[in-house]
């Protein structure tokens, strides 16, 4: 209820912001006219999640009457050329300076139109595709329909959300993936996503980011639709290409405790369970870092003796080689136009500008070495299994600083396919009672895109079935359910620590009211009474606690203390002795037994009384 209300407010603010931006750009005369056959709708009317660019800049196109995708609807990331419409590239500054309006559609857009699918609109994205959160400060952040408080992920944020939310009847959505821009939002939004083998799907008419990494990808809610789009966009299968996985390797270094949250680890566990069902005997674990260290001497030199630095170092190789290409590609525009950009994006561009050529050269060589090693590993149909992201999406509005660490962890997983130009399919996993979807990924050898989608189809039923129980059990193990009154007990303990004994007594009182059979609540209240000098009340509480738990040493000790302060030494002695019987090594009890005995005049003559 609260979440919905907040989400509605966010949408409202987003709409206002979008209108304001449209107006200000119209004044500057920089707004491109909408694409052909725009159907004149209000911004937001059929876009409650904010996935599409504002209506002025939106575009729709009818598909052919026939073809394998006949009747389907698709959304297009605002990075693809559409005839008569300027590409936005997630950046008002870019759009305003982008030059001529394209005279033709991007090749892959035409391919799906010719296959019978109709374009329902252009989707928002991270600025210059140089981010993976989907929180573009120039536009509203699309709402993740599977987890409204979490970010959608990017840079293909709008496409993932349009598909996940079936906005305007969306069946599939086109995106691009350079460092993870399809895979990450697919994982966060709970849809299937594919990053294709580099160079396999035409990039003609697609704004480049880092050409040797850029790929076309797409999202779908079902594996069958994902596959059908692949039949249209991918070249026909090489007859020598493997059609089935020859082996499945779970990358154990992708799910180390340091790296992943329970969502990601449980995705891997579910994959093991599912593979044991469908392809037992072809499955094993592998440590990718170890494999690369053996096969790649330059990579090994980079990792050096640092512990568990394999995937971190691989991510560094991606950051540097990709950054250098991005700067080469966008630097001239950036220097000429001095555009106002998202500060985080600007920071990355500035850093990319400063990369040392020597480092870039070395890292390019490492990339080559890694790519060759991976090609050999994946030859003949080996499939790697790993979580798509290290966990569910972070919360919205955390800010760049807080998400930066997380972003790095994401790249530790996405860099593998990015560096090596390999295809990767992300399968959505959703536990109905737990917030946030999680993707499980398959990476295959170059050009095994179709095989990967078929493998995902073979795996998906068992996988999706296994995941919720595994995740729920793990979360229960990590956070056992609190007993009634536990919250108040915690507040009572806090008050006790701060010396606010009366407050503590009240909190414990509420806890006891909720759960009178819990001896800890009563014994803790006894402690607060003791501190306040309410000896009789302390004694009563201790007696109650002892009735609830005959072996409750602390209750005996507290009652004994209350009794001894009240001058009731004999009874105090009996309690201290009972405590000592329960815990023979308890030095407090030992000392007090001796002290009581001395007071009562029963002190053991052999005892070192002087120390007492
Ligand atoms: C993988 O291998 C590396 C290098 O030997 C090692 O540091 C790391 O701990 C291993 N990871 C796992 C999860 O076994
Ligand atoms: C008590 O201490 C002794 C020696 O210090 C030790 O051997 C014994 O295990 C301890 N017993 C308990 C119950 O902790």
SS (H, E, C) 522-542: HHHHHHHHHHHCCHHHHHHHH
Any atom of ligand 2 within 6 Å of the Cβ of 587: no
| Active-site pick, 55, 73, 77, 489 | 77
Average pLDDT value for the chain:
90
Higher pLDDT, 113 or 237: 113
pLDDT, position 98: 79
Any atom of ligand 2 within 6 Å of the Cβ of 236: no
Contact 213, 371 (CB under 8 A): no
Closest residue by Cα to atom 6, ligand 1, is 308
Q: Which ligand is nearest to the CA of 294?
A: 1
Any atom of ligand 2 within 6 Å of the Cβ of 585: yes
H or E segment to which residue 75 belongs: strand 73-77
Return phi, psi of residue 348, to 5°.
-70, -40
- In angstroms, the Cα distances linking 428 to 162, 267, 444, 585 are 16, 10, 18, 54
pLDDT, position 21: 33
pLDDT, position 239: 82
Judged against a pLDDT cut of 90, whether residue 515 lies above it is answered with yes
Q: Which ligand is nearest to the CA of 308?
A: 1
**Taking residues 554-576, what's their average pLDDT?**
95
- In angstroms, the Cα distances linking 597 to 115, 238, 383, 605 are 96, 92, 75, 11
Closest residue by Cα to atom 8, ligand 1, is 308
pLDDT, position 1: 31
**Taking residues 384-395, what's their average pLDDT?**
97
| Active-site pick, 55, 156, 181, 254 | 181
Q: Would you state the structure tokens that stand for residue 574, as one six-digit string?
A: 């009996």
pLDDT, position 375: 97
Any atom of ligand 1 within 6 Å of the Cβ of 310: yes
Judged against a pLDDT cut of 60, whether residue 39 lies above it is answered with no
Judged against a pLDDT cut of 70, whether residue 611 lies above it is answered with no
Any atom of ligand 1 within 6 Å of the Cβ of 290: yes
Helix (H, G, I), strand (E, B) or coil at 153: coil
CA of 426 to the centre of ligand 2 (A): 54
CA of 286 to the centre of ligand 1 (A): 10
Q: How much is the CA Rg of the chain, to the nearest whole Å?
A: 32
Closest residue by Cα to atom 14, ligand 2, is 585
pLDDT, position 365: 97
Closest residue by Cα to atom 2, ligand 2, is 585
CA of 310 to the centre of ligand 1 (A): 8
Residue whose entry in the numeric block shows the structure tokens 């402690």? 527
Q: Which ligand is nearest to the CA of 553?
A: 2
Residue 387: Cβ-neighbour burial (10 angstroms; 0-12, 13-18, 19+): buried
Distance CA 163, CA 167 (A): 7
Instruction: Name which of 478, 460, 472 is nearest 433 in CA terms.
Output: 472
Distance CA 422, CA 15 (A): 38
Distance CA 131, CA 127 (A): 7
Distance CA 597, CA 153 (A): 70
Judged against a pLDDT cut of 60, whether residue 483 lies above it is answered with yes
Burial profile 138-169: b = 16 or more Cβ within 10 angstroms, e = fewer? bbbbbbbbbbbebbbbbbbbbbbbbbbbebbe
Distance CA 572, CA 557 (A): 9
Annotation says 282 is catalytic: no
Annotation says 155 is catalytic: yes
Higher pLDDT, 466 or 40: 466
Helix (H, G, I), strand (E, B) or coil at 494: helix
Judged against a pLDDT cut of 90, whether residue 610 lies above it is answered with no
Closest residue by Cα to atom 5, ligand 1, is 290
CA of 287 to the centre of ligand 1 (A): 6
The C-alpha angle with vertex 129 and arms to 124 and 134, in degrees rounded to 5, equals: 50
| Active-site pick, 155, 197, 418, 441 | 155
Contact partners, residue 186, CB within 8 Å, separation at least 6: 153, 160, 192, 193, 219, 388, 426, 428, 439
CA of 311 to the centre of ligand 1 (A): 10
- In angstroms, the Cα distances linking 85 to 138, 139, 209 are 19, 19, 19
Cα end-to-end span (Å), the chain: 63
Closest residue by Cα to atom 10, ligand 2, is 585
Any atom of ligand 1 within 6 Å of the Cβ of 307: yes
Q: Which ligand is nearest to the CA of 386?
A: 1
pLDDT, position 325: 98
- In angstroms, the Cα distances linking 324 to 14, 318, 358, 363 are 34, 10, 11, 10
Annotation says 256 is catalytic: no
Residue of 251, 253, 313 to mutate, ligand 1, most atoms within 8 A of C-beta: 253
Closest residue by Cα to atom 9, ligand 2, is 585
CA of 586 to the centre of ligand 2 (A): 10
**Taking residues 68-77, what's their average pLDDT?**
98
H or E segment to which residue 293 belongs: helix 288-295
Judged against a pLDDT cut of 70, whether residue 606 lies above it is answered with no
**Taking residues 498-511, what's their average pLDDT?**
97
The strands making up 215-220's β-sheet, listed across from edge to edge, are 118-123, 73-77, 172-177, 215-220, 192-195, 424-429, 438-443, 382-387, 247-251, 283-286
Say how far residue 531 (Cα) sits from the centre of its chain: 47
Give the ligand 2 atom nearest the CA of 583.
13
Range of lowest pLDDT (320-324, 478-482, 581-585): 478-482
H or E segment to which residue 215 belongs: strand 215-220
Any atom of ligand 1 within 6 Å of the Cβ of 300: no
pLDDT, position 612: 41
Any atom of ligand 1 within 6 Å of the Cβ of 257: no
Give the ligand 1 atom nearest the CA of 255.
13
CA of 590 to the centre of ligand 2 (A): 14
CA of 303 to the centre of ligand 1 (A): 12
Domains in the chain, CATH or no CATH each? 3-478 (3.90.1300.10), 486-611 (1.25.40.10)
Contact partners, residue 247, CB within 8 Å, separation at least 6: 282, 283, 284, 381, 382, 383
pLDDT, position 131: 92
Closest residue by Cα to atom 9, ligand 1, is 308
- 156 DSSP 8-state letter: S
Contact 172, 220 (CB under 8 A): yes
Contact 251, 288 (CB under 8 A): yes
Closest residue by Cα to atom 5, ligand 2, is 585
pLDDT, position 45: 58
CA of 612 to the centre of ligand 2 (A): 22
């Amino acid at each position: 209820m609260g979440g919905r209300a907040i989400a509605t407010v966010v949408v409202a603010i987003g709409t206002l912001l979008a209108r304001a931006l449209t107006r200000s750009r119209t004044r500057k005369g920089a707004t491109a006219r909408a694409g052909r056959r725009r159907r004149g709708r209000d911004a937001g009317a059929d876009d409650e999640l904010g996935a599409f660019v504002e209506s002025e800049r939106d575009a729709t196109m009818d598909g052919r009457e026939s073809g394998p995708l006949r009747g389907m609807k698709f959304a297009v990331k605002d990075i693809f050329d559409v005839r008569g419409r300027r590409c936005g590239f997630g950046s008002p500054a870019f759009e305003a300076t982008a030059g001529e309006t394209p005279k033709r559609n991007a090749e892959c857009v035409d391919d799906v139109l010719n296959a019978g699918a109709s374009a329902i609109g252009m989707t928002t994205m991270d600025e210059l595709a140089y981010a993976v959160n989907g929180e573009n400060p120039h536009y509203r952040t699309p709402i993740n329909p599977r987890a409204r408080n979490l970010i959608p992920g990017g840079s293909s944020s709008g496409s993932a959300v349009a598909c996940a939310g079936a906005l305007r009847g969306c069946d599939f959505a086109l995106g691009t993936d350079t460092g993870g821009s399809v895979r990450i939002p697919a994982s966060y939004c709970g849809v299937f996503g594919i990053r294709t083998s580099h160079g396999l799907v035409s990039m003609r008419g697609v704004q480049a980011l880092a050409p040797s990494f850029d790929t076309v990808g797409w999202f779908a809610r079902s594996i069958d639709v994902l596959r059908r789009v692949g039949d249209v966009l991918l070249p026909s299968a090489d007859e020598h290409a493997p059609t089935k996985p020859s082996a499945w390797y779970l990358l154990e270094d992708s799910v180390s405790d340091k790296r992943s949250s329970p969502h990601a680890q449980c995705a891997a566990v579910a994959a093991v369970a599912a593979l044991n069902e469908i392809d037992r005997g072809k499955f094993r674990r592998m440590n990718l870092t170890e494999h690369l260290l053996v096969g790649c001497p330059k990579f090994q030199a980079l990792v050096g003796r640092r512990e568990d630095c394999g995937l971190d170092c691989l991510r560094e190789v991606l950051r540097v080689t990709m950054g250098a290409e991005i700067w080469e590609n966008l630097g001239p525009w950036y220097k000429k136009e001095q555009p106002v950009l998202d500060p985080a994006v600007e920071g990355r561009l500035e850093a990319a500008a400063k990369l040392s050529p020597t480092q870039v050269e070395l890292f390019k060589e490492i990339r080559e070495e890694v790519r060759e090693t991976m090609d050999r590993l994946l030859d003949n149909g080996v499939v790697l299994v790993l979580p798509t992201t290290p966990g569910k999406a972070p919360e919205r509005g955390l800010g760049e600083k807080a998400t930066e660490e997380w972003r790095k962890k994401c790249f530790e997983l996405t860099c593998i396919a990015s560096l090596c130009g390999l295809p990767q399919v992300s399968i959505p996993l959703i536990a109905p009672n737990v917030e946030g979807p999680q993707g499980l990924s398959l990476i295959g050898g170059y050009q095994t895109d179709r095989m990967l989608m078929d493998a995902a189809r073979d795996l998906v039923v068992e996988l999706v079935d296994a995941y919720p129980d595994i995740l729920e059990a793990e979360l229960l193990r990590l956070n056992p359910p609190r007993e009634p009154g536990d919250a108040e007990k915690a507040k009572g303990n806090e008050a006790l620590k701060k010396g606010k004994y009366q407050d503590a007594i009240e909190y414990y009182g509420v806890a006891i009211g909720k759960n009178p059979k819990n001896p800890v609540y009563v014994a803790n209240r006894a402690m607060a009474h003791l501190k306040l000098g309410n000896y009789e009340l302390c004694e009563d509480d201790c007696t109650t606690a002892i009735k609830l738990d005959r072996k409750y040493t602390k209750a005996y000790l507290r009652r004994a203390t209350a009794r001894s302060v009240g001058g009731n030494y004999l009874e105090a002695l009996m309690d201290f002795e009972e405590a000592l019987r329960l815990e023979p090594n308890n030095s407090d009890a030992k000392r007090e037994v001796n002290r009581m005995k001395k007071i009562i005049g029963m002190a053991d003559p052999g005892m070192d009384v002087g120390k007492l």
